Amino acid sequence: MTIVLGDNQYGKSETHVVRVTRNGATHEVKDLNVSVALAGDFGDTHLTGDNSKVVPTDTQKNTVFAFAREPIGEIEDFGIRLARHFVNEFASVYRARVSIQECAWERISAEGKPHDHAFVRAGSEQRLASVTCTDDGTWVVGGIGDLVVLKSTGSEFHGFVKDRFTTLPETHDRILATSVVARWRYAGTDVDWRQSHAEIRRLLLETFATRHSLSLQQTLYAMSEAVLEARREVAEIRMTMPNKHHFVVDLTPFGMANDNEVFYASDRPYGLIEGTVTRDDAPEPGLAW
């Protein structure tokens, strides 16, 4: 029997960096969670404990902070700069992947106008980016996390398989709610990241709102299709959409009717819908995912 070391990587996860940019009295805030993963010629540290080729995770953390000293810009660009640094700077590194979560802050309104340096957290939604760099190329994946959406009608679910364990009633009018995680692979790196992200987000939300839904699967596909049809810079999109179930409460024991007005929101268990939609002319993903 031969035992061999398989694919491996290591890195520093969730370095939380907050960057304040001061333009006179007006400040801007960038709030990022940055994770770095390196792969390369690190077999000896696994097999013999020889760390001579290992870039310490503490160094990776400090690099994130040092790079944040310069203007961060869009998180995709920041990820590209970091990933290329690790590949170009260290001979033992052949692949660097930098994953970034950005949390948004909005200005607090004071005396009828946005405050210069006071902010409120803009909900749970996160902007996502993952950059993978090798000597052969750079791949960028953008995304959105925890985009919580709900519509109170315009959704049905019926005609499904039934057996002796089925208790779910068919419905032609239900609440549809989910927390969207969407990741999309870009076809290249010559992209206006901010504008692209904003338009993709708009397309996802508009499609969710306006398309009549016969299932969350159908909604997932329609949202993905809308992005791929409108945004040629996107090669592929992957969606994860948990079904945040809302059940009509039976008020008949209390002599009350409930015409789809009072619901019980169940947090678990929940249906988890996942899917990938790709353009047939999309370039190969390389190491993007």
Convert the chain into a string of H (helix), E (strand) and C (coil): CCCCCCCCCECCCCEEEEEEEEECCEEEEEEEEEEEEEEECCHHHHHCCCCCCCCCHHHHHHHHHHHCCCCCCCHHHHHHHHHHHHHHHCCCEEEEEEEEEEEEEEEEEECCEEEEEEEEEEEEEEEEEEEEEECCEEEEEEEEEEEEEEECCCECECCCCCCCCCCCCCECCCCEEEEEEEEEEECCCCCCHHHHHHHHHHHHHHHHHHCCECCHHHHHHHHHHHHHHHCCCEEEEEEEEEECCEEECCCHHHCCCCCCCCEEECCCCCEEEEEEEECCCCCCCCCCC
Q: Which of 30, 61, 197, 245 is catalytic?
A: 245
Who's near 248: CB < 8 A, 6+ residues apart? 258, 260, 262, 263, 264
Q: Which of 12, 30, 61, 197 is catalytic?
A: 12
245 flagged as catalytic: yes
Residue 289 has which token pair? 């995912």
57 flagged as catalytic: yes
User: Residue 115 and residue 109: Cα distance in Å, rounded?
Assistant: 6
Q: Which of 27, 45, 57, 151 is catalytic?
A: 57
User: Residue 105 and residue 41: Cα distance in Å, rounded?
Assistant: 40
User: Residue 46 and residue 6: Cα distance in Å, rounded?
Assistant: 11
219 flagged as catalytic: no
Q: What residues are annotated to the active site?
A: 12, 57, 245
